[in-house]
Amino acid sequence: MNLISIPAFQDNYIWLLDDQQGRCVIVDPGEAPPVLAALQRLQLTPDAILLTHHHHDHVGGVAQIVAQYPALPVYGPQETADKGATQVVKGGDTIDVGGRNYQVMAVPGHTLGHIAFYSAPYLFCGDTLFSAGCGRLFEGTAGQMYHSLQQFMQLPDNTLICCAHEYTLANLKFARAILPQDRQIETYQQQVEALRAKGQPSLPTTLQLERKINVFLRCHDTDLQKELGFNSPPDDLASAFSELRRRKDTF
C-alpha cells in the first residue's frame, strides 16, 4: 500500500491509501479540488470515502467527489448521515473496502459520534489523536477522550497514526512547557522544526513514538502527574488527562 497525504485548507491533511493497482480509499475529504487533482495526477480510482466525524473540514468535499464518482460508497458515523455518508457504521463494525478490512473504533471526545478506522498498520483517527497532542473536547467529556485514547494505546507500536492536522510543532511547544527537562520531547521538537522548515509533513507518526513524546498518552507518568499538581497518583487517570487538556486549551 502507498499512503499519500494531501494538504488542504491551512493545516489539514486528507489521506489516500493507494493499493498500487490503480485503486484507493479517501479519508476525510474536507475539500474536493486537491483530491480530484491527485486522483487524476496519480491515475487512481477511489473505492470508498471514509469519514471520521461531521466537521466541515472533514466532509466538505464529499458531494463534489461523489458527483464525479456516483457509485462511490461513503462510510461514516451516524453524525455524518446528513453530510454525505451512505453507509453508517459504528464502533465494533468491520468493513471491507477494496479487499482490505477496516476495524471501526468508537472514539468519542472531539465529537460524540467520532470514529476511527484501523487496518494494520494504518490508523485514520481524524481529530482524536494528533502527534504530541489530542483533539479539543467540542462535544464529549475528558473522560470519554481519555478512554478513546486508551483504545489506541492497545494497538501495536508500529501503528501508523494518520492524523488530520499538522499541529505537531504547536503541540510540542506545549509539551515542552509542561515537561521542560524531557530530552525525548526536546529532541523530537528539533527534528520536526527541521522537517517543517523544508516544507515536509511531520505525519504520519507512529504509536511507538507517540508513547514517548505525547503527554496526553502519558497520564500514568508520575513526573507528569506532579507537574500537573497531583502530589500522589490520582485514583482515576482521566482526572490527570482533564487537567492536561484544560491547560492546553488556555496555553
Q: What is the pLDDT of residue 11?
A: 96
110 included as an active-site residue: yes
Q: How far is 93 from 112, CA to CA, in rounded Å?
A: 17
Instruction: Give me the pLDDT at residue 231, please.
Output: 85
Q: What is the CA radius of gyration of the chain?
A: 18
List the catalytic residue out of 53, 54, 114, 147: 53
Query: Is 220 a known active-site residue?
Result: no
Catalytic residue status for 165: yes
Closest to 106 (Cα-Cα) out of 70, 74, 161, 144: 144
In total, the chain counts a number of residues equal to 251
Question: Quick check: is 114 catalytic?
Answer: no
User: What are the residue ranges in the chain where pLDDT is below 70?
Assistant: none
The burial class, CB within 10 Å (0-12 / 13-18 / 19+), for 239 is middle
Does 58 qualify as catalytic in the annotation?
Answer: yes
Cβ neighbors of 251 (< 8 A, separation 6 or more) are 174, 177
> CA-CA distance, 153 to 168, in Å (whole number)?
19
User: Which H or E run contains 17?
Assistant: strand 12-18
Candidate list 28, 47, 127, 182, residue with the active-site label: 127
Q: Is there a catalytic annotation at residue 147?
A: no
Q: Is 55 a catalytic residue?
A: yes
Residues 169-181: pLDDT tens digits? 999 999 999 999 9
Which entry of 18, 28, 58, 182 is annotated as an active-site residue? 58
